[in-house]
Amino acid sequence: MPKLSVVIPCYYNEENIPVTVAELVANEANFGPEVDFEYVFVNDGSGDDTLGALRRAQAQYPGRLRIVDLAGNVGSYNAIVAGLAYATGDCLAIITADLQDPPALMAQMYGHWQQGFKLVIGNRQEREETGAGERLAKVFHWLMKRLALRNIPDGGFDYALFDRQVATEILKLHERNSNVFYLMVWLGFAHVSLPYTRRKRQIGRSRWTLTKKITLLIDSLVSFSFVPIRAISVVGLGLGLLAFLYGLYVIVLKLVHPNEPAGWTTLMVVLLFVSAFQMIALGVIGEYVWRGLDAARNRPLYVVKEVL
């Protein structure tokens, strides 16, 4: 009997846990009796009683839940990697703990896995949430699709069901400061995308702050694209050409009008423009260098406090 491991990263989800576990267990009825289930909850250093809520759910549903309690907060993507390492299923799924992604779609995703697809993506076509968060998400996924991975679905995704082989390859990579979901697409396995509407969060407030979103954008772009470095090269060549032409202009001007005073305003504009470009270039190069240093240190992505 095939086993499906569902990995759920948790961060300040004390109130969500009872509802989430109950809905996941109820969703088993959509699969039939031929599937075995395992739920791997990863507590990502939550400061509330998320761990206590998970232990109570574990007592309520014996034999179903595995709890991986991390020593500190390492971010949802590293927490997912920890969940993959401790999951034992033939296929695995990743879903959020706040039920914004519908568990009912998982049965349809499982059906595609049975047909031979190694990766099945739950693709956010629409969102019930609106406002700045929705616009930022669209900009993020538009940039990733245009600059990094052209084969990711429009709207992005953080809900997926995939084969054990995909999980094994992800764990082999030991990627740092990256994006687990985009790594799945990058591996190159044939995948299918199933559209759905992402629901509003009903319980608690999201800890997915603007700072974390910007960090994820930078990590994803730097991990999957050399466009920032190439953009520096192109702009640098363009500025070099402009500087050469301006140098010729200054020389000709000096020959034609030897007594003409130097243009202080023009000089300051050019100096400030070039200086600004140099600082941006150093910042982009620094992002790549820092990631190389982080990889060279070879520190663990996460530290497990205990497994229940």
The reported pLDDT for the residue numbered 39 is 97
Is position 292 within any domain? no
Extract the runs of DSSP E, i.e. beta strands, from the chain: 3-10, 36-43, 65-70, 91-94, 119-127, 160-163, 191-198, 304-307
Is position 249 within any domain? no
- Residue 197's CATH number: 3.90.550.10
Is position 149 within any domain? yes
The domain tally of the chain equals: 1
Strand, coil or helix: 220:
helix
What is the spatial distance between Cα 294 and Cα 50, in angstroms, rounded to a whole number? Answer: 30
The reported pLDDT for the residue numbered 150 is 73
On whether the CB atoms of residues 66 and 10 are closer than 8 A, the answer is no
The reported pLDDT for the residue numbered 261 is 61
Is position 203 within any domain? yes
Is position 130 within any domain? yes
The edge-to-edge listing of strands for the beta sheet with 65-70 is: 191-198, 119-127, 160-163, 91-94, 3-10, 36-43, 65-70, 304-307
Is position 283 within any domain? no
pTM: 0.75
Is position 172 within any domain? yes
Is position 218 within any domain? yes
Query: Which residue range forms the structural domain that includes residue 110?
Result: 3-225+300-307
Contacts of 31 (CB under 8 A, 6+ apart): 4, 107, 110
Residue 82 half-sphere exposure toward CB, CA atoms < 13 A: 30
What is the spatial distance between Cα 46 and Cα 212, in angstroms, rounded to a whole number? Answer: 16
pLDDT per residue of the chain (308 residues) written in tens, 0 to 9: 899 999 999 998 999 999 999 999 999 999 978 899 999 999 999 988 999 999 999 999 998 899 999 999 888 888 999 999 999 999 999 998 888 888 999 999 999 999 999 999 988 776 555 566 666 767 766 777 777 677 777 767 788 999 999 999 999 988 877 788 888 988 989 899 898 887 666 565 666 566 666 776 676 666 666 677 777 777 777 777 777 777 677 667 767 776 666 665 567 667 767 777 777 777 777 777 777 776 676 778 888 999 98
Contacts of 124 (CB under 8 A, 6+ apart): 155, 156, 157, 159, 195, 196, 197, 198
